Structure 1
């Protein structure tokens, strides 16, 4: 799966930057997971350590097991959501791959991008993550959240956009002078 973007490259195309979602993306899933596991362990410990009616003990054991399993499931779910997304900036386009079993590939040629919007909350600044939104010609847009080093990614995209547009203008200029 990690080589999926490489498989989509055109002949002669080079990857200039490859990225994944920031670990902060998992924070809420991990926090909920830990909370559920603590509640589950508390229920199990309370059921084992106190003299209660059998029906109450059974209920506490079931609640404890369900909470622990749900908590671990939340942590793994967050991890898989994070792993399923990768993106790359090549010398000619932006590519994002989502999915593990069902894959969605989004491609935007760099010469079609008109604006790169950057968004970062105070907490995201602390952990160095944020959002990048690519606005293409015709008003289409594509937003990637929880980007690692978002300012670096934004600057790379705008730099390569300028290079691609300059090359395109040179080709157009050569075409008009040849006539």
Structure 2
């Protein structure tokens, strides 16, 4: 899925578009499995009891309501946050947008970027992810966590910055 064209300037081209690394979805996926197993266990146990129909139905309803709340809060919400988080490099700027109900973001013009760094530990190296650190002319360094293939993104961003500076410094 490409980044929406309505946020791009005329003639601006997307060079790279990434969501955070899928490792952010491991916890929510485990919570989905655990909540489902717990709900199935409680429902199965309630089904073995010699309660009258309405009491069993109340237990099933309460179990389903708790399951829906847990799955919505601990699984669906993190997935939608992951889905609505965008790290985009264009031929003019770096954009970061995140948030589901309240959106926020930052744009960094390529010409203002002073340095680009990356950092990743052993687990991040195994999963091919890491933190990208961008230092611009007017701000403290910005850290973007869980960027997939961070070394490739670092190299690509460095080349885009170099190309931008090269075109601005060369006489037209």
- TM-score between both structures, scaled by the size of structure 1: 0.79
Q: Structure 1: any 5+ residue segments left out of the alignment?
A: 175-179
- TM-score between both structures, scaled by the size of structure 2: 0.82
Quick check: 1:40–1:66 contact (8 Å CA) kept in 2?
A: no
Quick check: 1:129–1:146 contact (8 Å CA) kept in 2?
A: yes
> 1:168 — aligned with what?
168
Shift of the alpha carbon at 1:104?
A: 2.4
Q: Distance in 2 between matches of 1:12 and 1:2?
A: 16
> 1:142 — aligned with what?
142
Q: Distance in 2 between matches of 1:53 and 1:130?
A: 55
Q: Distance in 1 between matches of 2:42 and 2:116?
A: 50
> 2:36 — aligned with what?
37
Q: Distance in 2 between matches of 1:127 and 1:160?
A: 25
Number of residues of Structure 1 aligned to a counterpart in Structure 2:
170
- Cα offsets for 1:87-119 (capped at 9, x unmatched): 221112111222344432311011211122212
Q: Secondary structure at the match of 2:9?
A: coil
1:147-162 map, 5 Å: 147-162=147-162
Shift of the alpha carbon at 1:53?
A: 9.9
Q: Structure 2: any 5+ residue segments left out of the alignment?
A: none
Quick check: 1:44–1:60 contact (8 Å CA) kept in 2?
A: yes
Shift of the alpha carbon at 1:64?
A: 2.8
